[in-house]
Amino acid sequence: MKKLSSIIAGGLAIGLTISAQAGTLEDVKKRGTLSCGVSTGLAGFSQKDEKGVWSGLDVDVCRSVAAAVLGDASKVQYKPLTAKERFTALQSGEIDILSRNTTWTHTRDTSLGLNFAGVIYYDGTGFMVSKKLGVKSATELDGANACIQAGTSTELAIADYFRENKMNYKAVTFDTSDQTRTGFESGRCDFLVSDQSQLYALRIGLKDPSAAVVLPEVISKEPLGPVVRQNDDVWFNIVKWVVNASIEGEFQNVTSANAKDLRKNGNPGQKRLLGSEGDLGEKLGLSADWAYQAITQVGNYSESFERNVGQDSPLKISRGLNAQWNKGGILYSPAMR
Amino acid sequence: MPIKEFKPLPAQPAPVSTTGPIAWLKNNLFSSPFNIVATLLILSGLFLILPGLIDWLFISANWTGTTQDACVDDGACWVFIRAWSQQIFYGSYPSGELWRVNLCLFLLAVVIYLSFILPINLRNKVAIPAFLALPFVCLLFLDGRYLGLEYVNTDYWGGFSLNILLAAASIIIAFPFGFLWALGRRSNLPFAQSVSVICIEFFRGTPVLALFFMGSVMLPLFFPEGVTVDKLLRVWIILILFMSAYMAEVFRSGFQAIPNGQYEAADSIGLGYWQKTFFIIFPQVIKVSMPNILATFIMVFKNTVFLLVIAVPEILQVILGALTNSKWLGGHATEGFLFVALVFWACCYSMSMLSTSIEKKLDTSHKH
């Protein structure tokens, strides 16, 4: 009986983790892994492959942070979370960083005890129409039928947009995004409304993806970014500047391939970013090569974007708003100095 | 006059109209005008559906390959299931360590088998402790830290093996809990009785989904800062409590089925409360409750699929995740869900076969 109870005690001890309440940075360093909350599956943002390996734009944020803090992008413990669980998991300390296509809103930022550390993808409600319709812009959609997923913020966005432009539409609502696609495919509506990143994923699932186009208009703001706990500025700064480093990396033309060379022979800006000059890493409480590790192991923003959702991926999302500020987008990293 | 000897005529075969396939058809399918119409309608319906279904399922289905591009024919893309099979059955558990999951499944089978073949005097002494230790032994093996094996975080556990092991681990621990609650409910001690009634009625009266949400969203906020209890452990405890309430009611019905004479007989030979309960009543309760216990097990086994609402990577969650992978966006939901349904049906059907055979074995014809 004694043996049995010691087995039971050992079994229960496995589930309980008591972490010292130092800063998140110390916890992560001590543990040796970064605990990262991701979605249970969203094409191009956080997805698991057949071997259980995670990839995606959201996942790359965690990998970059792990590379900058621990020197190894693979030292990430992924925790798939539902939309309802995500903030609790962060608040209770189960995860160190939440990177789960979470929209940065005023309410979330101010009332949940959390901080948004930046934007990695500017999403927004968009339209997909069948090519046969010959529509070039959303303003030509007056009187059309719309396939919408019920209970989403999309419903509100499209109602506002059509009222503002004094147009009419007829809503055909469905329960899941899969059903909206089926409805669109069977011709029950003329256009499909959803977040633009979703539209591209839905489009691939069509029998003939080339028969549908995603219109350029985006009618609502959905900036997605990583989230950390409030009152831990050291960690907040790290995540914020790792995100900035990947954007700045693209701006300075630093890629995973040329970072090694530029670290020695680059211009002063590149050298500061890569840690061969200045003390940017030290000020974050990290080693000097923090951004160098992140960029060589994960790549700069452009590499990450194209690999996961852009032209090198099945989704083929164009950069749009998510291009650098000097190339027609709104990505802008504060100065690295 | 000689007495006429009675000579029976040789037996004749039954008339054609009452035996053989034609008679069967006539009796079962074409016995009345209504049945004739119904049969014809159903047959024509099957003729309409079956060829297309068989064609989609087998003939023009895609069986070989490793990527979505291999699915060129119009039929089902079984390549999807093949490519994801390891995820579907084991989740992200490291490939080199899968023997640990298999060992646990094997141990579970061994313990169940043992409880059948052991001689009756050893059965209680060996099988019951083995059952109770099994979940914790498996926990130690799957986790690995305390046995000097590679540490595998619970985030990597998953797939269908998780459904099986979690259901088994829950019902095993729920067994003693449920029994105690049932005893408490019948007890004359006011404290034991009220505690048991509150527990049973709370966990039986709350939907299991609501309990899961509470465990995953609310519970972590109540722990002191810095203390986190593993999600899978929280889920396990919830399943145990939920199942205990159901088992308690199953046992209570078992208690009520035992004739009063048994209690009185036990009292009259001077057995104490626990002796009476364990040596006289318990064995009979188990026998009477067996069909319900197995039915409850099948229920909890299927309930483990609900865990997908809190992102535990059980089999259905793996399928849903696979469907959103950008390399598999071709819409394989039908194949995935069909496969999950098939796997569960096969398991539940074999369990109800097992339960029928157990009932036959336990039947000592004490029908009251």
Task: Answer whether residue A5 is part of any domain.
Answer: no
Amino acid B123: pLDDT: 77
Task: Answer whether residue A86 is part of any domain.
Answer: yes
Query: Which candidate from A79, A94, A315 shows the least CB-CB separation from B326?
Result: A315
The angle subtended at Cα B244 by Cα B242 and Cα B247, nearest 5°, is 115
**């057995």: which residue's tokens?**
B271
The angle subtended at Cα A46 by Cα B102 and Cα A64, nearest 5°, is 105
Tokens of A295: 């960029």
Contact B155 A78 (CB under 8 A): yes
Q: How far apart are CA B266 and CA B276, in angstroms?
A: 6
Domain tally, chain A: 2
Task: Answer whether residue A3 is part of any domain.
Answer: no
Q: How far apart are CA A161 and CA A147, in angstroms?
A: 15
Burial of B118 (0-12, 13-18, 19+ CB in 10 A): middle
- Domain final residue, candidates A198, A220, A242: A220
Tokens of B191: 């404290």
Q: What is the DSSP string of A209-232?
A: GGGEEE-S---S-EEE--EEETT-
3-state secondary structure of B37: helix
What is the phi-psi region of residue B98: left when phi exceeds 0, alpha when psi lies from -120 to 50, beta otherwise?
A: alpha
Taking each helix axis as running N to C, give the angle between helix A290-298 and helix A57-70, from 0 to 180 degrees, rounded to the nearest 10. 140
Instruction: State the pLDDT confidence band at B105, using cuts at 50, 70 and 90.
Output: very high
CATH of the domain at A214: 3.40.190.10
A192 and A54 in a single domain? The answer is: no
Amino acid A131: pLDDT: 87
* B244 within 8 A of B177, measured Cβ to Cβ: yes
Task: Answer whether residue A145 is part of any domain.
Answer: yes
3-state secondary structure of A35: strand
Task: Answer whether residue A231 is part of any domain.
Answer: yes
* A194 within 8 A of A178, measured Cβ to Cβ: no
A200 and A254 in a single domain? The answer is: no
Instruction: State the pLDDT confidence band at B342, using cuts at 50, 70 and 90.
Output: very high
Q: What is the DSSP string of A242-260?
A: HHHHHHHHHHTT--TTTHH
Q: B211-222 pLDDT, tens per residue?
A: 999 888 888 888
Residues 6+ apart with CB under 8 A from A227: A87, A90, A97, A98, A99, A102, A108, A114, A115, A116, A117
A74 and A86 in a single domain? The answer is: yes
Amino acid A178: pLDDT: 76
Least confident of A59-68, B24-33, B68-77, B116-125: B116-125
A31 and A108 in a single domain? The answer is: yes
A105 and A137 in a single domain? The answer is: no
Range of A115's domain? 24-122+223-327
- Chain centre distance of CA B342: 14
3-state secondary structure of A84: coil
Architecture field, domain B83-93+152-362: Orthogonal Bundle (1.10)
Interface size, chain A vs chain B, as Cβ–Cβ contacts under 8 Å: 139
A32 and A105 in a single domain? The answer is: yes
Give the closest-approach CA distance of B284 to chain A in angstroms. Answer: 25
Q: How far apart are CA A199 and CA A318, in angstroms?
A: 12
Q: How far apart are CA B292 and CA B171, in angstroms?
A: 13
Instruction: State the pLDDT confidence band at B113, using cuts at 50, 70 and 90.
Output: confident
Which whole number is the average pLDDT over B148-161? 92
Q: How many CA atoms lie within 13 A of A315 on its CB side?
A: 26
A232 and A322 in a single domain? The answer is: yes
Name chain B contacts of A47, Cβ cutoff 8 Å: 321, 324-326
Contact A314 B143 (CB under 8 A): no
Burial of B17 (0-12, 13-18, 19+ CB in 10 A): exposed
* B284 within 8 A of B362, measured Cβ to Cβ: no
- Domain final residue, candidates A204, A220, A236: A220
Task: Answer whether residue A56 is part of any domain.
Answer: yes
Give the closest-approach CA distance of A168 to chain B in angstroms. Answer: 32
Per residue of chain A (337 residues), give pLDDT as tens. Answer: 455 566 655 555 666 666 545 689 999 999 999 999 999 888 999 999 999 999 999 999 999 999 999 999 999 999 999 888 899 899 988 899 999 999 999 999 999 999 999 999 999 999 999 888 888 888 888 999 999 987 777 888 899 999 999 999 999 998 777 788 888 988 899 999 988 888 888 888 888 888 898 888 888 889 999 999 999 999 999 999 999 999 999 999 999 999 999 999 999 999 999 999 999 999 999 999 999 999 999 999 999 999 999 999 999 898 988 999 999 999 999 999 8
A112 and A143 in a single domain? The answer is: no
Q: Kindly identify which residue of chain A lies nearest to residue B173, measuring between CA atoms.
A: A8
Amino acid A18: pLDDT: 60
- Domain final residue, candidates A220, A242, A260: A220
A135 and A202 in a single domain? The answer is: yes
Phi and psi (nearest 5°) for A40? -75, -10
Amino acid B132: pLDDT: 92
More confident residue, A131 or B345: B345
* B343 within 8 A of B335, measured Cβ to Cβ: no
Give the closest-approach CA distance of B263 to chain A in angstroms. Answer: 29
Instruction: State the pLDDT confidence band at B344, using cuts at 50, 70 and 90.
Output: very high
Q: B189-205 pLDDT, tens per residue?
A: 999 999 999 999 999 99
Strand extents, DSSP E, A27-154: 34-39, 47-48, 54-55, 76-81, 97-98, 114-116, 121-123, 125-130, 144-149
A118 and A140 in a single domain? The answer is: no
Which value does ipTM take for this structure?
0.84
Q: How far apart are CA B60 and CA B62, in angstroms?
A: 7
Q: A interface mutation test: which of B141, B237, B326 has the most A CBs within 10 A?
A: B326
CB atoms under 10 Å from CB of A84, counted, come to 13
Task: Answer whether residue A9 is part of any domain.
Answer: no
Tokens of B169: 């681990």
Examine the pLDDT at B279 and tell me if it is beyond 90. no
Tokens of B120: 């009756």
A95 and A228 in a single domain? The answer is: yes
Amino acid A4: pLDDT: 57
Amino acid B185: pLDDT: 93
Q: Where are the domains of chain B?
A: 25-79, 83-93+152-362
CB atoms under 10 Å from CB of A286, counted, come to 24
Q: How far apart are CA B21 and CA B155, in angstroms?
A: 57
Task: Answer whether residue A19 is part of any domain.
Answer: no
Contact B324 A49 (CB under 8 A): no
What is the phi-psi region of residue A317: left when phi exceeds 0, alpha when psi lies from -120 to 50, beta otherwise?
A: beta
Strand extents, DSSP E, A7-152: 16-18, 34-39, 47-48, 54-55, 76-81, 97-98, 114-116, 121-123, 125-130, 144-149
* A290 within 8 A of A303, measured Cβ to Cβ: no
A195 and A274 in a single domain? The answer is: no
Give the closest-approach CA distance of A290 to chain B in angstroms. Answer: 27
